[in-house]
């Protein structure tokens, strides 16, 4: 029984921050400065999501992760395709960690 | 806007005159409605775009979800509890942290507050999406699926954000996450590590794949991402705060830099 209460509690504290901005944010009333700020959020998020967690992406094998990330970066630069970046990174990373 | 979910996704693309549909006998038949919705979704370009965009996320989620299932079982949870967490909380890092705290016997208020702090970064992400989503339907449903990964993809999306795209983007990863958890729970430790050896990099490769093309053309993007990344790294290195707060701080500082330095730059897109 206690676990289900815990799950409900976790559900609320996770879901409400995701939902409330959609309900409470008046799109028209956003100050231009806030709008500019929000514009940068995705790129800041991407940067913060990648570094430093990417170095621990492969269990106990940091070089595999770094090389995989490098391959992803090169693939992304060359092809501008996310799928190619992911597949090539997974391939290289697997090969390195299995060898 | 319509609050009837079943009608909403089937009808948004067609004419906005809902009253014309109300009297028809087909509305009384639930399976006809679902069929209509399925067909409407399948033919919707945005929904298909969302599905395609979600593939890297599904790929990246599977090994993590399986790991969570395995760990949940080891922590002594039941299948429905493990599945319940993945299905109702649906937030990767915080789920693992919660498991850890349960194992340590932490009191439930502390666990809930920790989960809250770890996940609060989603509020910033939702704020961004809320500002860019013009057709505001099915918000309760769509907001549930806001995660780091779906946000990364949605915010980089070239075309205007629509509910159909978001649904296509959020649904498969959710299914992948929940079924991965169940699979991991059931199969347990029988999975050889070699299978998941290289998959760990998948999500990061996706983030990189989204960031690089944008950064190449834009100095602000590069700087913002670098500042945020370095801040996060520094905070982690110095062990300041903890997971969720570090990400929030890094995001805020990075975005702040961008706002202060490039005050006059016109934002592009949408």
- For residue range B217-262, list pLDDT tens digits in order: 889 999 999 999 999 999 998 988 777 788 889 999 999 999 988 8
Task: Name every chain A residue with its beta carbon within 8 A of the beta carbon of B153.
Answer: 82
Tokens for A20, please give them: 């409330």
**Chain B residue with the nearest C-alpha to that of A5:** B108
Mean pLDDT of A30-41: 85
A 60-99 residues inside an 8 A Cβ radius of B: 64-65, 68-69, 71-73, 75-77, 80-86, 88-98
- pLDDT tens for A16-30 read 999 999 998 877 777
Q: Nearest CA of chain B to the CA of A30: how many Å?
A: 8
pLDDT category of residue B11 using cuts at 50, 70 and 90 = very low
ipTM reported for the complex, 2 dp: 0.89
Contacts of B76 (CB under 8 A, 6+ apart): none
Convert A73-87 to b/e letters by CB count within 10 Å (16 or more is b).
bebbeeeeebbbbbb
Contact A60, B200 (CB under 8 A): no
B23 Cβ neighbours under 8 A, 6+ residues apart: none
- Average pLDDT score over residue span B6-31: 48
How high is the pLDDT of residue B15?
A: 40
DSSP helix/strand/coil, B158: coil
Set of chain B residues whose Cβ sits within 8 Å of the Cβ of A91:
198
Residues composing chain B:
270
Q: Which pLDDT belongs to residue A54? A: 87
Check residue A1 and give its pLDDT.
Answer: 57
Q: Average pLDDT of chain A?
A: 87
pLDDT of residue B7: 46
pTM for the model: 0.78
| B195-211 pLDDT, tens digit each | 666 777 888 888 899 89
Q: pLDDT tens digits for B25-78?
A: 555 677 778 888 888 888 888 899 999 999 999 988 988 898 899 889 888 899
Helices (H), B89-120: 92-103, 108-119
Closest CA to B189 of B73, B35, B60, B86: B73
Based on DSSP, count helices (H) and strands (E) in chain B, helices before strands. 14, 0
pLDDT value at B182 more than 90: yes
pLDDT grade for B141, boundaries at 50, 70 and 90: very high
Q: Which one of B88, B123, B267 has the shortest CB-CB distance to A7?
A: B88
A31 in reach of chain B (CB within 8 A): no
**CA B202 to CA A79: how far, in whole Å?**
17
Distance CA B63, CA B204 (A): 13
What value does the mean pLDDT of chain B take?
A: 83
Q: Is the pLDDT of residue B126 over 90?
A: yes
Q: A-contacting residues of B 124-163, CB under 8 Å?
A: 124-131, 133, 136, 139-140, 142-144, 146, 148, 151-153, 155-156
Cβ-Cβ contacts under 8 Å for B115 (sequence gap 6 or more): A10, A13, A14, B89, B91, B94, B97, B98
Burial of B268 (0-12, 13-18, 19+ CB in 10 A): exposed
Please give the C-alpha separations between residue A92 and each of A69, B32, B79, B178, in angstroms, as whole numbers. Answer: 9, 47, 35, 28
Query: Which residues in chain A are closer than 8 Å to B146, comparing Cβ atoms?
Result: 18
CA distance B26 to chain A (A): 32
pLDDT at A55: 87
């Amino acid at each position: 029984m206690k676990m289900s209460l815990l799950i409900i509690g976790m559900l609320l504290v996770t879901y409400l921050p995701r939902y409330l901005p959609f309900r409470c944010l008046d799109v028209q009333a956003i100050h231009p400065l806030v709008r500019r700020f929000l514009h940068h959020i995705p790129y800041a998020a991407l940067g913060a999501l990648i570094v430093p967690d990417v170095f621990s992406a492969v269990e106990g094998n940091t070089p595999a992760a770094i090389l995989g990330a490098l391959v992803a970066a090169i693939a992304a630069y060359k092809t501008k395709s996310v799928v190619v970046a992911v597949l090539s990174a997974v391939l290289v990373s697997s090969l390195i960690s299995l060898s | 806007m319509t609050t009837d979910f079943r009608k909403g996704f089937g009808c948004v693309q067609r004419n906005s005159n809902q009253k014309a549909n109300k009297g028809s006998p087909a509305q009384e038949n639930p399976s006809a409605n679902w069929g209509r919705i399925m067909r409407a979704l399948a033919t919707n370009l945005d929904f298909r775009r969302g599905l395609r965009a979600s593939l890297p996320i599904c790929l990246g989620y599977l090994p993590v979800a399986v790991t969570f299932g395995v760990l949940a079982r080891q922590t002594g949870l039941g299948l429905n509890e493990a599945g319940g967490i993945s299905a109702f909380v649906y937030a990767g890092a915080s789920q693992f942290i919660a498991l850890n705290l349960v194992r340590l016997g932490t009191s439930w208020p502390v666990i809930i507050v920790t989960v809250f702090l770890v996940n609060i970064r989603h509020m910033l992400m939702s704020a961004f999406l809320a500002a860019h989503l013009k057709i505001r339907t099915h918000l309760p449903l769509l907001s549930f699926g806001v995660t780091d990964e779906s946000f990364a993809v949605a915010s980089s999306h070239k075309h205007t954000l629509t509910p159909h795209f978001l649904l296509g983007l959020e649904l498969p990863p959710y299914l992948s996450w929940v079924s991965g958890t169940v699979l991991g729970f059931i199969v347990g430790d029988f999975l050889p590590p070699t299978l998941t050896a290289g998959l760990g990099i998948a999500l990061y490769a996706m983030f990189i794949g989204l960031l690089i093309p944008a950064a190449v053309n834009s100095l602000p993007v590069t700087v913002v991402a670098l500042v945020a990344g370095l801040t996060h790294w520094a905070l982690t290195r110095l062990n300041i705060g903890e997971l969720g707060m570090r990400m929030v701080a890094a995001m805020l500082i990075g975005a702040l830099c961008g706002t202060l330095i490039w005050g006059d730059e016109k934002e592009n897109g949408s």
